[in-house]
Chain A
Amino acid sequence: DQQVKQNSPSLSVQEGRISILNCDYTNSMFDYFLWYKKYPAEGPTFLISISSIKDKNEDGRFTVFLNKSAKHLSLHIVPSQPGDSAVYFCAASEVHAGNMLTFGGGTRLMVKP
């Protein structure tokens, strides 16, 4: 039972345009959501997070949107840069239950010059 799903295994975007990565979850107890960027054979790098009490959080070129009723979150990258090419994972946790992240399967983003 996949509680966190990233339905697009890959996404290709032109440099300078917007990249939108999507994530769906089924567990209504999740109250903290994070996005990580990962290169092969390296650990995930934290990008941005959002608590369930918010519906939007921005940090520079990265914005995360949370739609609790639809159990959906998305990461927007504007403008996209070639250096953004990597695998992006969304993750979710129940804060009161401690640190146990449930990850989606990842989306490979390719930003073309």
Chain B
Amino acid sequence: KAGVTQTPRYLIKTRGQQVTLSCSPISGHRSVSWYQQTPGQGLQFLFEYFSETQRNKGNFPGRFSGRQFSNSRSEMNVSTLELGDSALYLCASSLLADTQYFGPGTRLTVL
């Protein structure tokens, strides 16, 4: 089976812009979760989608949003980018509420 794929792998944006990141889960997996990794805060949970519904949400501002499509593919959007949003954004998929398998991540740099 193909693993979790994320596009794009690298992205450079400027402050105030918005960005959309995409994630394709492992075939058959219905749960997609997003995480942010920064040197200062480590790996932090953003949100989880299961069957197109947001099931959990982490402690991030409303500028961070996401959605899931009927084929389980997911996108996350960050609006009004700030310098502090520079991070590695990771997507993970799982069958149900069990082991999560991560994609390679999208490295976002905000200038």
- Residues of chain A at the chain B interface (Cβ within 8 Å): 32, 34, 36, 41-46, 49, 89, 91, 93, 95-106
Chain B nearest CB from A78 CB (Å) reads 22
A32, B99: Cα distance in complex, Å = 9
Chain B residue numbers with a CB within 8 Å of A91 are 43
- The reply to whether B43 and A95 form a contact with Cβ atoms under 8 Å apart is no
Chain B residue numbers with a CB within 8 Å of A95 are 97-98
- Which of these, B94, B97, B98, B105, contacts A43 with CB under 8 Å? B105
- Which of these, A96, A99, A103, contacts B42 with CB under 8 Å? A103
**Beyond the given A95-B97, A98-B97, could you list 16 further A-B residue pairs with CB under 8 A, ordered by the A residue number?**
A32-B98, A34-B99, A36-B102, A41-B105, A41-B107, A43-B6, A43-B90, A43-B92, A46-B99, A49-B99, A99-B31, A99-B56, A99-B100, A100-B33, A103-B43, A105-B42
- Which of these, A43, A97, A101, A105, contacts B4 with CB under 8 Å? A43
A80, B101: Cα distance in complex, Å = 24
Q: Which 6 A-B pairs have the closest CB atoms?
A: A43-B102, A103-B43, A100-B56, A98-B55, A44-B102, A99-B48
Majority SS at the chain B contact face: strand
Chain A residue numbers with a CB within 8 Å of B98 are 32, 95, 99
- The reply to whether A101 and B33 form a contact with Cβ atoms under 8 Å apart is yes
- Residues of chain B at the chain A interface (Cβ within 8 Å): 4, 6, 31, 33, 35, 42-45, 48, 50, 55-56, 58, 88, 90, 92, 94, 97-105, 107
Chain B residue numbers with a CB within 8 Å of A49 are 99
- The reply to whether B56 and A41 form a contact with Cβ atoms under 8 Å apart is no
A62, B104: Cα distance in complex, Å = 23
- The reply to whether B45 and A97 form a contact with Cβ atoms under 8 Å apart is no
Contacts A43-B4, A89-B43, A102-B45 known; A96 to B104 CB distance under 8 Å?
no
